[in-house]
Amino acid sequence: MSASLLILIPLLPLIGFLINGIGFKTIPKGAVGIIGTLAVVASFVISVMTFNDFVASGSQPLVVPLFEWITVGDLRIPFSFQIDQLSLLMLMIITGVGSLIHIYSIGYMHHDEGFGKFFAYLNLFLFFMLLLVLGSNYVIMFIGWEGVGLCSYLLIGFWNKNTNYNNTARKAFIMNRVGDLGFLLGIFTIIATFGSVEYTEVFAQASSFSLEDPVIVTICLFLFIGAMGKSAQIPLYTWLPDAMAGPTPVSALIHAATMVTAGIYMVIRSNVLYSLAPSALEIVGIIGGLTAIFAASIGLLQNDIKKVLAYSTVSQLGYMFMGLGAMAYSASMFHVITHAFFKALLFLGAGSVIHAMSDEQDIRNMGGLRKKLPITFITFLIATIAIAGIPPFAGFFSKDEILAHVFEHNKLLWVIGVIGSLMTSFYMFRLLFLTFFGNFRGTHEQEHHLHESPASMTIPLVILAVLSAVGGFIGVPEALHGSHHLAEFMSPLYDAARQANPAGFEPTTLSHSEEYLLMGVSVAVALISAVVAYVMYVQKASVPAPDSAEKSGLQRLVYNKYYVDELYDNVFVKSTKTLSNILYSFGEFFIDLFVNAAVRLTSFSAKMLRKTQTGSTGDYVFAMVLGIVAILFWKLLL
């Protein structure tokens, strides 16, 4: 494969960024959209060509050196790209979903005055994201890592320059910096241990380490802190829901389909290291499981359409980490792929709804939209079924594979996972029913304005819907008489890890009947939740109470009709509600407490420090002498 072609993949979005970024005031709107979109589509086409070449040439991973970059002492960091199964899959997702979202944005952002700037940022984001997955060493990955973070903030702050922006941005920034801190420390520990940051060299050397070597465990934990920040895991997750302040296509592209999966990419990329550190993986799995159920339970009660999806994203990322914890790398990647399809679709669908509702985001003010927005409705329905894990749509296969592996690994986590998917199915169907069924609850103006979105928005929806529906067939498990294409394709990635830790890669011991049973359980809980949601929100047409008002008498009457419902309401809904509220405020409270405490501590010590700067020369000299005496005493007399 020619290097010149490969370099075009990240270069094209960069060129798009430069053209739109420099000339966004002079280039006409139509041209801006076309330039920005073309750059991404072209890089998608090249990615596909690269993929075909790769498969045709026998799936040999290769490192394409571009130029010598840096030499520090004995450490040599070349600027080179690595082409293998993992980076190719990520490339296809990023450029593929990216292209669709660009097309969508042409319609969605049409009325916005910052149209050119928006496309410039999107292209820049893609450039960094592609750099992140293409780089052949941790330093390039880090550059991309920071770059996508930067673009994410630029785009979060795209609309809300003045309102509360400082606070949100600060929180997001601190959380991500904590993550980046971990990543950086991981890199430096890698340098200290292996004397290199190139994947191939690091992994080759790592294979000679013994299982549970403390250095490897440390590296893995450091790297995982980085992943926690970027992929919004407990306790660094609260920035992601806040990030929903950005335009909806951004939420779809950055905060659902691509950037937030960077953490998973990193762990899979470092699978050799992680396979050598089962105790680190254990932590990864537990954090993932906790995040999955925690975020899902918060999602149960959110009334902002995008907030629900945001918590859902956090929760789904938790599933992926849970899978990684069970060393089911391929299964997690599988879920990354299917999640990219259906979550992008959900966000874009939500965008279409918001567009139609004149920027209304509260689902309590929606309802009955399925007649007015038929395409959006059908695609949204498909995505909902997919995320709920109902066969044969994409989410079923990937989630089921993760859960099967987790079941083998740790039964308790599996239970958590199943409860999580129960909640997932419930809040997603709740969202669907409240938005598209029942009667319209908004204002007359909004009702008058309701319209299906233009073709540039619906075509991406349809394409993504098709992918969400059939995307799962790349990894049909053996038990269902499929052949697992994806797992086979990715299998060479783990050769080194397999040698280092053979026990972790033993084939499944689950019999087919056990697998059927597991599948049956997860499908059953998903269906039950869907039915419950249907009963609650369509049959009884109950609407979540407004933040202040009490339930009306009529509603109470409806409730009282069914004894079962009352029981359900008292025992199940209320307790869940309370739990969910507690968890929500607990999480927010603690994280805010942490962030605020860090800020307070800094400002407090800053105040103390300020007091030492008295302005009097005598005091300064005195402090100096104290310092000198301390040093001399310490080094000469002690």
Partner 1 sequence: MYPIVLLSFFGIVTLFLGFSKSKNILLPATLLFLIIALAGNFLEWNKGPLLYFYDMLRVDNVTLAFNGIILLSAFMIFAISGGFQDNPDSEPAEYFGLMLFSLVGALMMVGFQHLIMLFIGVEILSVAMYVLTGSNKRNLRSNEAALKYFLMGAFATGFMLFGITLLYGATGSFKLEQIQGFASNMQVGSESYILYAGLLLLLIGMLFKVSAAPFHFWTPDVYEGAPTIFTTFMSTVVKTAGFAALFRLLSGSFTGVYGFWWIVIAAIAVLTLLVGNIGATSQNSFKRMLAYSGISHAGYLLIALTALSKPSQNAIIFYSLAYSLSTICAFGVLMLVSKEKTIGGQPNEYYDAFNGLAKQNPLLAFVLTVSMLSLAGIPLTAGFWGKFFIFTSAAERGIIWITVIAVLMSTVGIYYYFRVIISSYLKEGDLVKIRVAPFYKVILVLATFLTILFGLAPGIFEGLI
Partner 2 sequence: MIPNPNIPEVSIPSVIQNIPLQHYLILSTLLFVIGIIGVLTRRNAIIIFMSVELMLNAANLLLIAFSSYRSDPSGQVFVFFIMAVAAAEVAVGLAIIVMIYRNTRNTDIGFLNKLKW
Rounded CA separation 122/120 (Å):
5
The H or E element spanning position 63 is: strand 62-72
Contacting partner 2 (CB under 8 A), which of 111, 161, 448, 610?
A: 610
**By the rule CB under 8 A, 120 interacts with partner 1:** no
Spatial contact of 56 and 48, defined as CB atoms under 8 Å apart: no
Residue number with CB closer to partner 1 (172 or 327) = 172
Q: What is the DSSP letter of 634?
A: I
Residue 632 interaction partner, one of partner 1, partner 2, none, beta carbon < 5-8 Å per kind: partner 1
The region of 55-63, 184-192, 356-364, 428-436 touching partner 1 under the rule CB under 8 A is 184-192
Least Å distance, CB 613 to partner 2, is 5
* 617: contact with partner 2 by CB under 8 A: yes
| 3-state DSSP of 105-172 | HHHHCCCCCCHHHHHHHHHHHHHHHHHHHHECEHHHHHHHHHHHHHHHHHHHCCCCCCCCHHHHHHHH
Residues 125-164: x/- map of binding to partner 1 (CB under 8 A)? --------------x--xx--xx--x----------xx--
Among the listed ranges 54-62, 373-381, 498-506, 612-620, the one in contact with partner 2 (CB under 8 A) is 612-620
Structure tokens, 535 = 């009963």
Query: What is the nearest approach in angstroms of partner 1 to the Cβ of residue 116?
Result: 16
Cβ distance to partner 2 smaller for residue 549 or 606? 606
315 contacts 296 by C-beta, under 8 angstroms: yes
Contact 335, 292 (CB under 8 A): no
- Are 116 and 25 within 8 A, CB to CB? yes
Helix H or strand E encompassing 70: strand 62-72
What gap in Å lies between CA 211 and CA 216, rounded to an integer? 9
Which of 259, 37, 8, 250 shows the shortest CA–CA distance to 129? 259
Count other Cβ atoms within 10 Å, centred on residue 359. Answer: 8
- Position among 56, 549, 554, 606 found at the interface with partner 1 (CB under 8 A): 606
φ, ψ of residue 381 to 5 degrees: the values are -60, -45
Q: CB neighbours (10 Å) of residue 49?
A: 14
Nearest one of 246, 266, 264 to 255, comparing CA atoms: 246
Choose between 163 and 613: whose C-beta lies nearer to partner 2: 613
* Burial of 612 from C-beta contacts in 10 A (0-12 / 13-18 / 19+): exposed
In whole angstroms, how large is the CA radius of gyration of the chain? Answer: 26
Question: Which partner from the list partner 1, partner 2, none does 605 bind, CB cut-off 5 to 8 Å by kind?
Answer: partner 1
Of 481 and 607, nearer to partner 2 (C-beta) is 607
Binder of partner 1 out of 24, 51, 159, 188 (CB under 8 A): 188
- 553 makes contact with partner 2 (CB under 8 A): no
Closer to partner 1 by CB, 455 or 598: give it: 598
Mark the segment that binds partner 1 (CB under 8 A) among 231-239, 460-468, 544-552, 630-638. 630-638
Counting contacts by CB under 8 A, is residue 517 touching partner 1?
no
Interface residues with partner 2 (CB under 8 A) are 610, 613-618, 621-622, 625
Interface residues with partner 1 (CB under 8 A) are 67-75, 139, 142-143, 146-147, 150, 161-162, 165-166, 173-174, 177-178, 181, 184-185, 188-189, 191-192, 195, 602-603, 605-607, 609-610, 612-613, 615, 617, 619-621, 623-624, 626-628, 631-632, 634-636
